[in-house]
Amino acid sequence: MPDTPLLPDATTRRRIGPWQPDRLAALSDFEPDTNFLVRAAAGSGKTTALIGRMVSLVRTGVPLDDCAAITFTRKAASEMRARLYHELQTAQRRLADNPDASPAEIRRVTEAIGVLPRCFIGTIHAFCARLLRERPLDAGLPPDFTAGLDDREHEEQRRRVWQSYLADVWDRDPERVKHVVSLGIEPSDLVHFFGALCRYPDLTPYVDGPTRPPDLKDAVGTLRGKVEAWMPALPDNPADGDAKPGTTASAVRKAARMLALHPMEDPAAHAAFIGLFDDITKTDSRKSTDTTVRGDLTKSHWRDGDLADALDNEILPRLHDEVVAPALRRWRAYAHRQLVEFVRPAVTTYAEHRRRTGQLTFQDLLACTRDLLRDHPEARRSLQEQYPRLLVDEFQDTDPIQAELLFYLSSADTTETDWRACRPRDGSLFIVGDDKQSIYRFRRADLDVYSAVRTVLDDAPNGEDVTLESNFRSTAPVLKWCNDAFDDLFGRLDAPHQADYVPFSPARTDAPDAPPVLQLEVPYVKGSSSTRKIAGRNAEQVARLIAAACRSDAASSPTAGATPEDFMLLTRNTTRLDVFAEALAAQHLPYTMAGGDDVSASTELHALVTLLTCIERPRDGVARLAYLRGPLVGLSDDALYRLRASGAAFDGAFEVPNTVADGLAPALADRLAQAYDHLRDARARLSTHRPAAAVEQILDRLGLMARTRRTAGLGSLHAGRLLRVLDEVRRLDAEGHPWTAIRDELQKILDGDRSLDGLTLETGAADAVRLLNVHKAKGLEAPVVFLADPYGGAHPKPPEEHVRRDAGDVVLPVYEHYRYHRALRFAPERWSTEFQNEEAHYQRAEEDRLLYVAATRAEDQLIVSHYHSPSWSQEKGYWAPLVPHLEDVPTVEVPSPSDAESDTAVPQLPEVFDADRRDQIEAPTFDTASARDVLNDGLESTGAGYGRDLGSAVHDLLEHSIRRRHQGPPPDAERAPLLNAAVARHEVPNQRDTAARLWHSLFESPLWTAITQADTVHTEYPVAGLVDGTVPIHVRGSIDLLYRRDGAWHIVDFKTDRLSPDDVEAVRKHYRPQLQQYATLWESATETTGTTLALWLADLGQSVRVPRPPTSAPAKT
């Protein structure tokens, strides 16, 4: 980074911390006593500037241990310490070689090298822990406090405190609990809201609801009159088939039933009644050939067409805006206030518990240090003497409380308690950051606080806000494209949501011949736009391009002669990193991965967890079966059947009785004996060794690590996953957890309830492709950067909270949480009218800054992937905002598979088990098939279909609703989150409206009534049995809906085919054998008869009876 007048910011660099790569920098312009906030653009040398200042301070007489350097991560701190040591040694050598150098300056640098170990260089949390340990009693902490609970420990403690709080309230004041229940939510379901409040201990929860229940009688009266007037205009019975009534008709019928059956005596009942009309103005995107569809009201479904027109165009929008929405906002705001008042004492209790026991979270470290400095002037004065100069890196992404404690620690007035009024002592603050790279709002980073610090420091007489715009990373052509693109993108939103864009000034004078920016078009995926399929196509393209570039004969490649380390792949999130990892592995390209959450996909982890579970629960038949059928033993279904038929019992003993072994084939008996021997050996090791040592020995004896290397091309990925699991086991063991608790944690990882970054055998290696998500890319760079995985659904997600730093509060609505989504229940009145939109602006701005961070990692070439579906009217996907700036950018040509293939041989390790023996044991004695495969052979579906992925999404929604049938159809407030989660999970966001229509068709049907009146209901009920044939066939299947009503069993299969009424008979004929087989398997297992069969045709909103033949061959279950 040469200090040359040609750079527009050269003067600024000489003022803040001069540095020269080839000589000792002059100090004539250096300003040690000015407090700087340096706005340093990407690639401008932020760390170099900070280290240059520290060396310059030492040269001018500031003791190095007066300085404290604060960084964002431990890795960055380690690198900074090494870099500072190198620069001090370089300065010492250059001073010694300079005959005109001052002996005092030489002495200062030499002394600094000696005291470097005492100089604090670390994260803000480590710095706070150090300050608190010097004054624990002043901070109200026990001297032996624990600094920084990890997320798992924090979650466990929080749940325990919440459960204790609920029990205490129930004992002392049960009426408070009953009041919460009367609002329509269970107190136990508020645990997530409790966690949200705990994240913001420094802010007051915002509430604006009335203190007393709002009077909703007028709104109820208005709606009652409308229902009574509109009911005669509806048909006597809900329409069937393709004439399914819309949301309006549905709301009117439900309201009429509610008025007839439920007393409307309290505000909660009033709110529930009004809530029926919450969605009446939402658009229904159904296609129709024989009706007029406007909004969600179908004119032909009303007897009075003129009334329907008036409802659609005038009455309903006005009714919703003037009656329904205001009433619901008042009620939800009232309930929100009540819930905040109920939960907030638990937040205080938990905070006091952590301080009393000394179990501090990372957030506590900041808050306790801030409180210590603010409230104890003597402590502040003493700590100021120890740390008179603070230097902070990556300030834009740190917690807002950090700003407070920095100003308290640097303030000339040690009694000032308002950090914004603090005026730093001369030279006490040097802050480096780039608001254009602020990308951690979800971790409490706040652009408003950065702007406030910038203003406070710039307004001080000894402070200044300066900018570094020279970029030493990228070529001038790359920077020109970035300037054009991001000047436009950053201009879409103004302050305070977005940072001002300052154009780059290129410092590099070289430029490769290759195009600076390329676009990579991902081929269209026909059918449902599965994000994993799209990612797979993109991954193949990227892997082929890199493989071709790394081949010595690829002279035509724009990056010919490159090595794997020249490439970086960036994705927006971690969901599909494994797809790209496997594509790179298939091309035999070494790679490292950071930020991935792919350990849950590890077959080896699954094998380990099944073994540990079997040992922990020796009498659990399901656990034993999972072990015997899993990857470690691999018994076939036939072997398990014969084992069961021989009289084997899972009674806790890990051995095969002689009476059982004698009845088994010798090969199977030997295999079973070996499997139980593994269990006994593992149990013995777990009882005599520390968990980590025992697990390592178990894995070694089972040969799991060797097995991972047998997977052609993917061995590194599988081995890396297993090593990552072992590392986690060691960490948990070091914390003192028993092996059973470690098994529980591994199960959470396997289930996806805990994330764990994956790695490969090349992680940490120099010559490897780097694969990571954008949030992990800060501070990194590469000659060639791919922006990969272009399509993954809507981003950003809808806002769920809003921070107002100036007001000192946080807006936190109450959500009901499900496994894959959350549904809004209660919120302040201003949430939907103001705060939600305001937060959406902040999120959109941060998405643009993420694009900036991603694109500016490229040194020589940026390759932007994008995907387009013919059905889209505009670009979608993570990198879509960049697409308009690719119009004049060339498209990269992807080598064909044959051209990109590597001749590298993949070493094959020997089989762990004898192949002949395995073949003999695992040879099937029967065929397996689903009921559809066996009985629909040769039949073709009559419906064109909406795609299997959409069908799976609709099945999930139907199953969820049926399981909660006693609560009625999902409330309108829950439907959108449920729907969004389902289509996202099955990767069909573009078919959201179709999924909604198919799902909602159930609720107004006679089938729904039958389900709600049934005494027993099962969904996705598994059945299996043997069907006779030349080779016995083991038929298995899953019944979508099985219910008993009036003593009779009914089987219903859900179908999401695209149908017309003319298709019904063909569909009935097509699926009849499958349903018949389900009935046969069910009746054989339960010894019942008379089961009726039906198809639920979601596209028609119609249930179709399927007749059964007089007799049928029984199945052997």
pLDDT at 241: 35
Over 90: is that where the pLDDT of 103 sits? yes
User: What mean pLDDT comes out for the span 51-73?
Assistant: 95
pLDDT of amino acid 940: 41
Task: Give CA–CA dist 1025/1035, Å, rounded.
Answer: 5
* Total residues belonging to the chain: 1117
Q: Read off the pLDDT of residues 69-87 as tens digits, 9 standing for 90 and up.
A: 999 888 889 899 999 999 9
The pLDDT tens digits for 961-1016 are: 888 787 778 887 678 778 877 876 776 776 788 888 889 889 888 899 899 889 88
**pLDDT at residue 284 tops 50:** no
Query: Is the pLDDT assigned to residue 901 strictly greater than 80?
Result: no
pLDDT in tens, 757-779: 666 666 556 688 999 999 989 88
**pLDDT tens column, 479-524:** 999 999 999 999 999 889 999 999 999 999 888 888 999 999 999 9
CA distance 438 to 395: 9
Can you read off the two tokens belonging to residue 338? 């009540």
Confidence of residue 812 (pLDDT cuts 50, 70, 90): very high
Nearest one of 855, 718, 888 to 774, comparing CA atoms:
855
Do residues 1001 and 1036 lie in contact, with contact meaning Cβ atoms separated by under 8 Å?
no
CA 874 to chain centroid, in Å, comes to 26
Is the predicted pLDDT of residue 248 greater than 80, yes or no? no
Among 58, 72, 83, 87, smallest CA distance to 122 is for 72
Residue 654 has pLDDT above 80, yes or no: yes
Local structure of 367: helix, strand or coil:
helix
From the CA atom positions of the chain, what is the Rg in Å?
Answer: 34
Residue 299 has pLDDT above 80, yes or no: no
Alpha helices per DSSP H over 62-150: 74-97, 103-115, 124-134
Q: Say if residues 605 and 746 touch (Cβ distance below 8 Å).
A: yes
**Residue recorded with tokens 């009693």:** 137
Which amino acid would we find at residue 659? T
The answer to whether the beta carbons of residues 368 and 137 sit under 8 Å apart is no
Calpha distance 333→832 (Å, rounded): 11
Spatial neighbors of 875 by CB under 8 A, at least 6 apart, are 866, 868, 883, 884
Task: Identify the DSSP state of 203.
Answer: S
Tokens 């939510």 belong to: 185
Q: 904-960: per-residue pLDDT in tens? A: 433 333 333 444 444 443 444 444 555 555 444 433 444 446 777 788 888 888 888
Which of residues 594 and 1013 earns the better pLDDT score?
1013
Q: pLDDT confidence of 720, banded at 50, 70, 90?
A: confident
Backbone angles phi, psi at 456, to 5 degrees: -60, -45
2: preceding bond cis by omega (within 30 degrees): no
| Listed residue (614, 612, 665, 620) closest to 643, CA to CA | 665
User: For residues 163 and 188, what is the distance between their CA atoms, to the nearest angstrom?
Assistant: 8
Give the separation between CA 641 and CA 199, rounded to whole angstroms. 52
Mean of pLDDT over the chain = 84
CA distances to 580, 762, 949, 1099 from 1054, in Å? 35, 47, 14, 10
What percentage of the chain carries pLDDT values higher than 90? 47
> What confidence score (pLDDT) does residue 650 get?
75
Side by side, the strands of the sheet bearing 389-392 are 120-123, 67-71, 389-392, 429-433, 35-40, 463-468
8 A C-beta contact, residue 682 and residue 611 = yes
pTM of the model: 0.75
pLDDT digits (tens, 9 = 90+) for 833-853: 999 999 999 999 999 999 999
Q: Are 569 and 542 in contact (CB under 8 A)?
A: yes
The 10 Å Cβ neighbour count of residue 349 is 15
Kindly list the structural domains of the chain, giving each domain's residue range(s) and its CATH number in brackets, ordered by start.
10-143+362-471 (3.40.50.300), 151-355 (no CATH), 517-591+769-900 (3.40.50), 599-751 (1.10.486.10), 927-1106 (3.90.320.10)
954 strand-pairing partners? none
Strands, DSSP E only, in 49-173?
Answer: 67-71, 120-123, 146-147
CA 1032 – CA 858 distance, rounded (Å): 61
Alpha-carbon gap, residue 757 to 598, rounded angstroms: 7
- CA nearest 1014: which of 1039, 975, 1051? 1051
Contact in structure between 380 and 371 (CB atoms under 8 Å):
no
Q: Encode pLDDT of 11-38 as tens digits.
A: 999 999 999 988 999 999 999 999 999 9
Mean pLDDT computed over 339-354: 95
